[in-house]
Structure 1
């Protein structure tokens, strides 16, 4: 497999501030300092990201709409000819943002982790979050922005996947897409209790990755709505998958410009404010082949084994602050 000379996708968690407390949050947003940069440094990171010439950039968090410089930052990247996508929980979306959203982003994904308020709000950790997400989708439905639903599938909502298609999608005639992705055992989703109770079973993950299942879901929505379902195993960065080319050649940027070597794991390789993009990518690729990574991920065959491997990698490559945060993670209480 020939490794690309640059990341094909960049995920920038532009802030860790968040009004929600999702049980599966990979970044533990809302539970830690936001680490958000000041305007000048945000623009420097934006320029560095654009210099890497990725196919696409996803702005996530935390809640990106809490960043007042968001649209100015996005303009720097779109001016470089790069498509930028937004991921939002919808809680803070306001009508006056709609025109800026349509100009700044080629698509806006609203996180909806259940077809009903009781399921969604339990997963998202805040009562009223379902209603806020529905209100955000309604606002987008009346705008010119391309928008859709992004659903992280866990054991508590897997039974509602088809219901999202049959009950939620018809509520928004302008909806462009629906994406379903198996929860990845990273961050809070790698906790021992979560791995045992909320990670999908291996059979459920296989179903999400089955092309036939995706076809079935597409048959439940209007032809104008694009539906995808993925097992997210490409994020595992398993050495066998890298050899076959079945992996995700991406960089994940933390709010302060630090760059993770692998999106699903703790451990940075430098910072876009101090290191060249080419050098950061070289270090990231080197990490994929680090003996500890290869030895830890090599035997992984199940979701529970993946969660255990994540905990080992996070602890090995994470900073002292990362390890302290991991040690403070609360025990998971079943939903």
Structure 2
């Protein structure tokens, strides 16, 4: 399967998995089409080992609103949601950066009517691959509209069937998400299914992997739960990174399904642009997140603050 990635020298970012790989030789810069099997065979580079002045990828959450109320949500719904002109300003700044991957999340980004145009604006710089992270509720009706504007879609599923998923994310959310995934796959949009890894989901991780393969997803991500946002109320759900790695290593992986485990260690220092237009960053342990400063230019994404500290 040929897909769009973003390259800078020997670094290649996958918008579906959110991982950055190192190619054996430099392959250029900007948006590039490569075979998925080629890229996934290259080693993954941890963000802390990239030696870049800015992040390789960022999550932009231009919307706080969401139609679901997931108990493990990372978003802070007390953050002010900026207006339309502010969203466009942030999109133009992102287009002018050397960030390889921009994932548009929320809240629920499919509630934004101007989402296709925002995606195009970020891609207009020719440097970044873009993705959408969604709960899938509106994906069935918007997949065709988004197909030519995004490089990948990440759909959050936290159970392998309606009973277990809907117990976390709400009634009908499983069926709506599955229909959305099927619509996106039929349109040949690369789909990554992702699950928040916590105690209540750990027992059926293999079922989630099997479901991703059956639905035709190109990959599956298990994301260690972070005690940020609503998740601060769920300390008993946390697994250690060692527990998560043991669970992941025991999985029987279907052929051609690209796998990702995001540990809390890997999530340390990850950069988020929230709906208030400010740059936020996880601390080194990914147990807390802090706001740094407003995003006024590409320089504000620097991995050190203005006084030179990390």
CA offset at residue 123 of structure 1?
2.2
**Alignment partner, residue 177 of structure 1:** 219
CA separation of 1:282 and 1:220: change in aligned 2, threshold 3 A: closer
CA offset at residue 160 of structure 1?
0.6
After superposition, residues 56-205 of structure 1 pair within 5 angstroms as 56-81=101-126, 82-95=128-141, 97-124=142-169, 126-166=170-210, 168-172=211-215, 174-191=216-233, 194-195=234-235, 197-201=236-240, 203-205=242-244
Show CA shifts across 1:169-198 (max 9, x none): 3432x321111121112222223xx11x21
Give SS of 1:200's match.
Answer: coil
Give SS of 2:204's match.
Answer: helix
**Alignment partner, residue 8 of structure 1:** 56
**Alignment partner, residue 296 of structure 1:** none
8 A Cα contact 1:90 1:132, kept in partner: yes
**Alignment partner, residue 277 of structure 2:** 257
For the pair 1:270 / 2:293, whether they are aligned, the reply is yes
Give SS of 1:228's match.
Answer: strand
Partner Cα distance (2:50, 2:66) in 1: 38
Partner Cα distance (2:124, 2:275) in 1: 21
Show CA shifts across 1:102-128 (max 9, x none): 21111101100111222212222x121
CA offset at residue 232 of structure 1?
3.0
**Alignment partner, residue 253 of structure 2:** 220
Structure with greater Cα Rg:
1
Give SS of 2:158's match.
Answer: coil
CA offset at residue 286 of structure 1?
5.8
Give SS of 1:268's match.
Answer: strand
8 A Cα contact 1:23 1:123, kept in partner: yes
- Specify which structure has the higher proportion of strand: 2
CA offset at residue 285 of structure 1?
7.8
**Alignment partner, residue 310 of structure 1:** none
Gaps of 5+ in 2: 1-48
8 A Cα contact 1:110 1:133, kept in partner: yes
8 A Cα contact 1:16 1:28, kept in partner: yes
8 A Cα contact 1:111 1:151, kept in partner: yes
Give SS of 1:61's match.
Answer: coil
8 A Cα contact 2:76 2:229, kept in partner: yes
- Specify which structure has the higher proportion of helix: 1
User: TM-score by structure 1 length?
Assistant: 0.70
Partner Cα distance (2:102, 2:50) in 1: 22
8 A Cα contact 1:182 1:232, kept in partner: yes
The size of the alignment, in residue pairs, is 258
CA offset at residue 34 of structure 1?
6.3
After superposition, residues 309-324 of structure 1 pair within 5 angstroms as none
Show CA shifts across 1:200-235 (max 9, x none): 246523425x6xx1xx53x431x2221222323122
Partner Cα distance (2:198, 2:100) in 1: 29
CA separation of 1:287 and 1:100: change in aligned 2, threshold 3 A: farther
Give SS of 1:53's match.
Answer: coil
